[in-house]
Amino acid sequence: SLSAKEREEMLAIQGYKCALDGEPLTLEDSVWGHDVAWADGGKLYDGKVIRRGHNNAMGKLTHDEYKLILELRKNKAA
């Protein structure tokens, strides 16, 4: 995974927002989320800084697949 310094640099590029939900994100609550799971051959820099909880919940889904699920949940709650 990325070092905390590298992750913070990427988080700054992302405007301190989670790449999946677009909400404000702190370094402490962030992880480097691979777009393709590391176990499935994902590359180190093939990812974005995301909320820790999303990383656990998304399992082997890609970022786009998980974003669709988040959007469906958001629409259902509205």
Question: CB-based contacts of 24: which residues, under 8 Å, 6+ apart?
Answer: 16, 17, 18
pTM reported for the whole predicted model: 0.85
Average pLDDT, the chain: 91
What torsion do the CA atoms of 21, 25, 27, 33 make, to the nearest 10 degrees?
Answer: 0
Q: What is residue 35's predicted lDDT score, i.e. its pLDDT?
A: 85
Instruction: Output 12 or 41, whichever has higher pLDDT.
Output: 12
